[in-house]
């Protein structure tokens, strides 16, 4: 895909009722290798591969086929293209929807864990925070959490707050503002950062993607009136993994980035 494909890319994710805005797709097109299939004069399917660090980790995302073109092998073709592109990458992961998981299993992806999207309704009570945007994320803490450097991705997010290196980023979305990534050494720091993010979006629905097993993140999300809304399956290519520390991850960046 090339920058001029932005409008058609957005049509694809809107057709699946996903949350990405034009700015989100722009980020993907800028940072990831993006593949598409054109049929009947338009883009009808996509897949993207975001490579991190020194080709140590790749994240497959934005696997989409327009509804009227499904079941013809288009997504499979694009997943194969993405995997060919990632053939020298140590570890390949993704977050799969129920529709996507059978496609990935054919290529050797195995189940790793459940990730959940929590949603906060627009009419939830306002939250106050005395924090303001700014501060420097601790990049070594992020590397410990995520396993590899993802400096370019972090730099691409519009709003960041950091306290003692713990950090949270947030961004607008098509249906809901998105919290994440949030990496923190303690629930207390994550709480202050989450309050800051939620205070920034009065009367706006919000999404927060977290590990199902992260009790502290769940409890914090719950206290801020988020509730579970979707479950996805984190999958990784068999036999190719890297050390990560999910206990530090209070919010993921999004299903397309990990």
Query: Site residues (CB under 6 A) for ligand COA?
Result: 16, 45, 63-65, 70-76, 96-97, 99-100, 102-103
Nearest distance, CB of residue 38 and ligand COA, angstroms: 14
Nearest distance, CB of residue 83 and ligand COA, angstroms: 13
Nearer of residues 115 and 251 to ligand COA, judged by Cβ: 115
Nearest distance, CB of residue 103 and ligand COA, angstroms: 4
Nearest distance, CB of residue 95 and ligand COA, angstroms: 7
Nearer of residues 40 and 130 to ligand COA, judged by Cβ: 40
What would the 3-class secondary structure string for the chain be?
A: CCHHHHHHHHHHHHHCCCCCCHHHHHHHHHHCEEEEEEECCEEEEEEEEEEECCCCEEEEEEEEECHHHCCCCHHHHHHHHHHHHCCCCCEEEEEECCCCHHHHHCCCEEEEEEEEEEEECCCCCCCCCCCCCECCCCHHHHHHHHCCCCHHHHHHCCEEEEECCEEEEEECCCCCEEEEEEECCCHHHHHHHHHHHHHCCCCCCEEEEEECCCHHHHHHHHHCCCEEEEEEEEEEECCCCCCCCHHHEEECCCCCCC
Nearest distance, CB of residue 39 and ligand COA, angstroms: 11
Nearer of residues 1 and 168 to ligand COA, judged by Cβ: 1
Nearer of residues 63 and 179 to ligand COA, judged by Cβ: 63
Nearer of residues 102 and 125 to ligand COA, judged by Cβ: 102
Residue showing the smallest CB distance to ligand COA in the complex: 100
């Amino acid at each position: 895909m090339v920058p001029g494909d932005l409008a058609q890319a957005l049509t694809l994710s809107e057709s699946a009722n996903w949350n990405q805005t034009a700015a989100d797709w722009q980020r993907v097109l800028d940072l990831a290798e993006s593949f598409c299939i054109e049929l009947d004069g338009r883009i009808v399917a996509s897949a993207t591969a975001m490579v991190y660090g020194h080709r140590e980790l790749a994240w497959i995302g934005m696997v989409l086929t327009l509804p009227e073109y499904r079941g013809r092998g288009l997504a499979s073709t694009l997943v194969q293209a993405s995997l060919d592109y990632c053939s020298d990458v140590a570890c390949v992961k993704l977050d799969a929807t129920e529709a996507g998981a059978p496609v990935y299993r054919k290529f050797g992806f195995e189940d790793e864990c459940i990730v959940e999207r929590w949603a906060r309704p627009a009419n939830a009570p306002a939250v106050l925070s005395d924090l303001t945007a700014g501060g420097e994320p601790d990049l070594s803490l992020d590397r410990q959490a995520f396993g590899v450097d993802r400096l370019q991705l972090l730099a691409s997010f519009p709003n960041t707050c950091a306290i003692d290196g713990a950090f949270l980023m947030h961004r607008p979305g098509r249906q809901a503002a998105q919290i994440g990534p949030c990496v923190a050494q303690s629930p207390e720091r994550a709480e202050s950062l989450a309050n800051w993010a939620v205070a920034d979006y009065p009367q706006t629905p919000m999404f927060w993607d977290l590990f199902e097993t992260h009790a502290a993140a769940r409890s914090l999300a719950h206290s801020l009136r988020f509730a579970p809304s979707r479950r996805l399956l984190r999958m990784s290519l068999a036999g190719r993994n890297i050390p990560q520390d999910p206990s530090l991850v209070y919010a993921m960046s999004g299903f397309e980035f990990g």
